[in-house]
Structure 1
């Protein structure tokens, strides 16, 4: 336990080397989504007619390149309003389609790829799509100091709209895959990507299986009670926002507010007992609210994403193979 917490503590200090230099606080109370119907708020505006796919190479029977499409929830930021990602598409038809959703502040897809990529490409041949969250990677605005700075912040409305943008565009991608590809659609989310994947599972019935790894559940809880949110909390408190306010403002983003629309037997949750990024109590809340789907709890901290990646890959792939036969 002590070693796990120390590793997470060191990583957290490194994480905060990059942080906002100015206060991000903003609220437009008239447009804060309180008491709004979830299904309407996260509804896909219209089906995607086509996804741009730029194939740049071939390897191991895969066509490899980038995909992109216009976001359905425009933010006014040029880079952010075009959804991008990497695609690895098997030349054989009918393969399962895996969408990977990365974590907060990730600067590349490498951390997720190191867990799953080679195992899937070399042993399974599944199609893989690496989905870029709002304000991250290629979607990071020029004025942003680090990847993901503008997705989760003390800007209360923008944080909700970023979550909405992530959900609606991810749902649009899922629906496009269902309409244009033969295989099942699987979502694998890591950290913040797990939070987004969990939320989309409460809204989108076209998902065949979900794996959520070291996920957060309530953004308000994470910001107020864990070290990664400490500077955002300081920003909010300085401007007079208390914890109960934040819960109210961000409640519509909580996955535990609704049951999944997919078969509970096709959900795998993975948590870390000594996680210093995602409090295990918050992770427990989702598991219980969702009527206790399959869950593994590792004896590690959040750094288990790196230190236990072989175990994560083995557990995840074994689970999925049993569900999508």
Structure 2
């Protein structure tokens, strides 16, 4: 199926073109035009302010756990033991051990989405929910997880055609970026829907309706439970999305592609290492190595440094544990010609060097760059068309 539907521009942005990377990777600064260099520099400066704001919220999330670990040595010993558990598991490099597959099709309940969503899609839009079957891989974290009532209910929004099921494009949002309306507009999902796809927007743990009561903002729980909590949250993100895939397949969907932005890009790359049922995967401005990312995010990096100092947890120990939920630790299960990475040269939240590291690990698959930053996706219509050309052969032919 093809379509001549014009691609709308969700947010007015300068039309400064990007390009696919060559065999050597992302372009050198000298390879850019004067306008591209100016755009990269300006967007990088703007991104630093956004990075500081997000890092402040991440730091606020971490502060209670870090403070308790400093004051209560029993908490510190527990955290060190947990880090050793994830480091040992990561060293196996076995995604079946790290991310056990859900065995059942979830019992999904649906209800019509709000009129705004219906208007945006100009089609059938439903909100989905089901009880998560996730059990932490670390036995010491299981009691803690049973208390997370709201987080353990999975939510998603499904845009479907009357004559479905159809090939389905799944989207995972970034940190704090869970509103369906925002993601629908940012990714031009009405356009993808009009070209023939069904669309599913998946809500990450601790975001949106999954945020626990008392959370000061969507996503707070992602980083408020220490490094062990972050590890299990990523495990749950993968598990619950695979449950969604189970449900889609059970309803007759035979072709599923996955894209995600930022933290959603990190998650999508990890899913592609754990599940072989994806037709294609497209991490967009992905975080790839959060350990190094947090070290650059002021003021969160100062809090992490303090936690390491008083907790006597070395950076190497921390990095070894973080490898558990890093896509660089596992081989991708999606074929090389069905992987596409999108990155912004002016991105300072998830610097393009991280996307290039994933590109190297993924056998130098397709890599598209634009001269904007983490939020300002300059020439976005160009890369959305690039995504559409990339997906068509594997989703429809």
Instruction: State TM-score, norm by structure 2.
Output: 0.75
State the 1:215 CA deviation: 0.4
Match of 1:141 among 206, 212, 218: 212
State the 1:270 CA deviation: 0.6
Shift in CA distance, 151/17, structure 1 to aligned 2, threshold 3 Å:
closer
Q: How does 1:125-274 map to 2 (within 5 A)?
A: 125-153=196-224, 155-227=226-298, 229-230=300-301, 233-234=304-305, 236-237=307-308, 239-240=310-311, 241-274=313-346
Aligned to 1:301: 373
User: Retained in 2: the 8 A contact 1:94–1:182?
Assistant: yes
Decide which moves more: 63-72 or 189-198: 63-72
Bigger strand share? 1
Supply the distance in 2 between the matched residues of 1:302 and 1:227 (Cα, whole angstroms).
17
SS in 2 for 1:210: strand
Match of 2:110 among 36, 53, 58: 53
User: Retained in 1: the 8 A contact 2:51–2:297?
Assistant: no
Supply the distance in 2 between the matched residues of 1:70 and 1:275 (Cα, whole angstroms).
36
Bigger helix share? 2
Aligned to 2:13: none
Match of 2:65 among 7, 24, 30: 24
Supply the distance in 2 between the matched residues of 1:107 and 1:8 (Cα, whole angstroms).
20
Match of 2:364 among 292, 297, 308: 292
Shift in CA distance, 226/287, structure 1 to aligned 2, threshold 3 Å:
farther
Shift in CA distance, 92/231, structure 1 to aligned 2, threshold 3 Å:
farther
Supply the distance in 2 between the matched residues of 1:8 and 1:181 (Cα, whole angstroms).
42
State the 1:85 CA deviation: 1.5
State the 1:77 CA deviation: 0.9
User: What are structure 2's unaligned runs of at least 5 residues?
Assistant: 1-39, 70-77, 136-144
Shift in CA distance, 2/182, structure 1 to aligned 2, threshold 3 Å:
closer
User: What are structure 1's unaligned runs of at least 5 residues?
Assistant: none
State the 1:228 CA deviation: 7.9
Decide which moves more: 176-185 or 153-162: 176-185
Aligned to 1:78: 149
Aligned to 2:87: 34
Supply the distance in 1 between the matched residues of 2:166 and 2:306 (Cα, whole angstroms).
47
Q: Kindly report the root-mean-square deviation, in angstroms, between the aligned alpha carbons of the 2 structures.
A: 2.3
Q: How does 1:314-325 map to 2 (within 5 A)?
A: 314-324=385-395, 325=397
Supply the distance in 1 between the matched residues of 2:189 and 2:302 (Cα, whole angstroms).
34
Shift in CA distance, 219/135, structure 1 to aligned 2, threshold 3 Å:
same
Decide which moves more: 62-71 or 235-244: 235-244
State the 1:230 CA deviation: 3.0
Bigger RCO of structures 1 and 2 (CA < 8 A, at least 6 apart): 2
